[in-house]
Chains A and B, each alone.
Chain A
Amino acid sequence: MVNFRRARAYVALLPMAITACVIYFGTTLWSLRVSFSSSRTFPTDNFVGLAQYARLFTDDRWLVSLANLAIYGTLVIVVCLVLGFLLAALIDAQARNEGALRSVFLYPYALSFVATGIIWQWLLNPTNGIQEAARRLGFADFQFDWIVDPDKVIYTVAIAAIWQSCGLVMVILLAGLRGIDPDIWKAARLDGIPAWRVYVSIVRPMLAHSFATATILLLTAVVKLYDIVVAMTQGGPGTASEVPAKYIMDHLFGRANIALASAGSIVLLITVGILLAPILYLRRYSARLAAR
């Protein structure tokens, strides 16, 4: 009887299986195949071995984009998780104004980035934006011209990305918090444990799954980041704020070089795999330990 029930599970998972295998795995294999060719606008069978990968790793622009990915990726994930947790906890702790507060932090997620990118460009521009406004208010030496500084421009991209994604992390953690037994709070108060202690030592571990979801979500957003860079800096000044997704996109369409673009996306996948694999392995290992 158990087997019959389990069969239903398999049937329910069929769409996912088809999607995963045919669409995602299949497309990845196709990309891999194209990356070994010299295809331009359309896929051809002109095989050139690892030439595209060689070109990729001698291209400064690609290497800069990988370095940028590491920098803003770490920043966005860490800051969003911390800030998102703080905001979720604060909103959860006090019952009033939840709708308004939630909307304040979540609304950036709703705005299409093509126009918001222009706003951020204006805000961060030293001639018209925050720097100029602060100077007019009297802070004559105030400097905030990161967006025109090739060494600091990637941080402005991180700021815009954090602004856009924080709200979603907050909401995911809030949903997780809502699943926690309210009796825990009562018990903690009876025992005299301060609220922050409860959050850090008791609640946070119970939110492990929500944190996992939020982290993976942020990681996918970070890896696929494209709109923000195009709208804010166009990859500039020069190629200082180049990101892998933009490199891939530019070569896919504008430069009519789908082979190089495919090579880039395969490398990106492998990079993500290398990052995630040890974490996943660690979780399985610790789960096995716990089960023992």
Chain B
Amino acid sequence: MWAARITSFVLALLAGAFAQAAPPRAEVMHWWTAGGESAAVRALADAYRAAGGVWVDTAVAGSEQARAVAISRVVGGQPPTAALFNTSKQFLDLIDQGLLGTVDAVAVRDGWDRFLPEPILSTIRVRGHYYAAPVSIHMPTWIWYSKAAFSKAGVTKEPATIEELFAALDRLKAAGLIPLAHGGQPWQENVLFRAMLANVGGRDLYLRVIRDRDPRAIQSDGFRKVLLTFKRLKSYVDVGAPGRNWNDATALLITGKAGVQIMGDWVKAEFAVAKQLPERDYGCIVGLSPQSPYIVQGDAFVFPKSENRDVVAAQQLLAHVVTSPRAQVAFSKQKGSIPIGTGFDPATLDPCTRKGLAVMTDPSRVVGNDENYLIPDQNGALSDILTEYWNRNVPVETVQKDIGAALSR
């Protein structure tokens, strides 16, 4: 009898020894499920494996849904090792409830505050602690155009000001093409609005409205001009736009039926699937003035709090790997995003990404996305007002008043 006991004791010791050598295992929850996004995540998983970790993938399409499921699992006591959120105020409530762990050690050791853009830093660093590891940086308001459509309409020069953009749109209309390819969904209308606020309003007004929620800025003439320019774009959109998905709008550019699309840099993957190349088949305009703001929108992994040392080790390793230059370059090539940090050769990136990188490294031009500064509820309310203004005949003064009310909550 005690022989059995000794045997089991020894076995337990051995098992313990082997368990110590078990590789860090991370269950990662995210919403990158299709096409280029999938390939991008695989690049991250490969990097994690190369660093000695085990990547367990839990993909959930739909960013809102993925976040909801992550939160449910945290509440239910079975959190994933890491969950994807946007660099925004989405996970503030989680922090306040004490449900997230920190990655201060990795952040300090890798020097995140040296190479991350300020808007990103401000969302992942809360009350002095780092609660998230940024993975991708996107710019939502690029201006894309189809070279074939431009040449058909006789537009020879890439628009460099807002007036030139409207002139180009007029020429496209005259040539019988769809000037602006747009999908009539609230978030896409929001993209158009932000593009106009950045390009027509400028960095200062943008920050005063979105970050400071300054009532005087919202009721100002400058903001009124932004709203009117936004609404002016509607006359260049075709009648079939409502409800259209963003990639169906990109398809219009790809097939040469439309000229311009204002959308984030994830469209590059759609062009790539159709085997179209930047600068050859399509062009990318980062802004309509030399000082136009560069809006930064990001995704980051948060780490549900755990008492288990193995889990924490896996989290720390993940935070380090996903922000490392090699993983970043491999990831962003597939995702269309800008690689985070320094320490890689920009020549390996495509021309549009290079353009973006050049601007992003100028801190005087970088601003955060609306979700950077507004809580989800305020952001949503703003979106409702904008989409109603776009679709119906609402006087611009009413819109200004409503936005003022929504953002003052």
Contact = CB atoms under 8 A, between A and B. Distances in A.
A/B touching: CB–CB < 8 A: yes
A125 B379 CA distance: 29
A232 B64 contact: no
A98 interface: no
Contacts of A234: 185-186, 243
B270 interface: no
B93 A145 contact: no
B239 interface: yes
Nearest to B69: A253
Contact of B64 (A40, A42, A145, A254): A254
Given A40-B93, A125-B240, A148-B240, A255 B377 contact: yes
A232 B376 contact: no
Contacts of B65: 253
Interface stretch (B20-28, B219-227, B344-352, B382-390): B382-390
A256 B93 contact: yes
Interface in B231-270: 238-245
Interface in B57-85: 64-65, 67-68, 71, 75
Given A254-B380, A255-B377, A238 B240 contact: no
A148 B384 contact: no
B376 A237 contact: no
A233 B244 CA distance: 8
B185 A253 contact: no
Contact of A255 (B94, B239, B241, B380): B380
A256 B95 CA distance: 14
A42 B92 CA distance: 11
Interface string A230-272: 0011111111100000000011111111001000000000000
Interface residues of B, number: 32
Contacts of A251: 377, 380
A237 B67 contact: no
Nearest to A153: B242
B377 A128 contact: no
Nearest to B378: A255
A60 B387 CA distance: 13
B9 to A, nearest CB: 45
A213 interface: no
Nearest to A121: B243
A41 interface: yes
B53 interface: no
A29 B356 CA distance: 52
B243 A237 contact: yes
B309 interface: no
A36 B290 CA distance: 50
B238 A127 contact: yes
Contacts of A145: 239
A205 interface: no
Given A40-B93, A41-B93, A238-B392, A253 B243 contact: no
Contacts of A256: 90, 93, 375-377
A61 interface: yes
Interface string A170-198: 00000000000000000000000000000
Given A40-B377, A233-B242, A253-B68, A240 B93 contact: no
B308 interface: no
Interface string A3-29: 000000000000000000000000000
Contact of A41 (B71, B185, B245, B380): B71
A250 B387 CA distance: 15
Nearest to B187: A234
A253 B64 CA distance: 6
Given A42-B93, A253-B65, A237 B184 contact: yes
Interface string A112-150: 000000100100011110000000000000000101101
B391 A254 contact: no
B97 A250 contact: no
A256 B67 CA distance: 11
B377 A236 contact: no
Output the residue of A153, A238, A251 with the most chain B CB within 10 A.
A238
B93 A148 contact: no
A236 B391 contact: yes
Contact of A148 (B64, B71, B97, B241): B241
Interface string A50-92: 0000000000110000000000000000000000000000000
Contacts of A126: 239-240
A254 B245 CA distance: 19
Output the residue of A41, A128, A240 with the most chain B CB within 10 A.
A41
Contacts of A118: 245
Nearest to A55: B409
A69 to B, nearest CB: 18
Given A40-B93, A127-B238, A237-B243, A150 B380 contact: no
B376 A236 contact: no
Nearest to B91: A41
A60 B64 contact: no
Contacts of A128: 240
Contacts of A252: 68
A256 B97 CA distance: 14
Contacts of A147: 242-243
A234 B93 CA distance: 27
A240 B186 CA distance: 12
A114 to B, nearest CB: 9
B243 A233 contact: yes
Given A253-B68, A256-B376, 17 more contacts: A41-B93, A41-B94, A42-B93, A60-B388, A127-B238, A127-B240, A148-B242, A150-B391, A235-B186, A236-B184, A236-B185, A236-B243, A236-B391, A237-B391, A239-B387, A250-B380, A254-B376
22 contacts: A40-B93, A40-B375, A40-B377, A41-B93, A60-B388, A127-B238, A145-B239, A147-B243, A148-B184, A148-B242, A153-B242, A233-B242, A235-B186, A236-B185, A236-B242, A238-B390, A239-B384, A239-B388, A240-B391, A253-B68, A256-B93, A260-B377
Interface of B: 64-65, 67-68, 71, 75, 90, 93-94, 97, 184-186, 238-245, 375-377, 379-380, 384, 387-388, 390-392
Closest 9 CB pairs of A and B: A238-B391, A127-B240, A41-B93, A237-B242, A255-B380, A253-B68, A148-B242, A237-B391, A254-B64
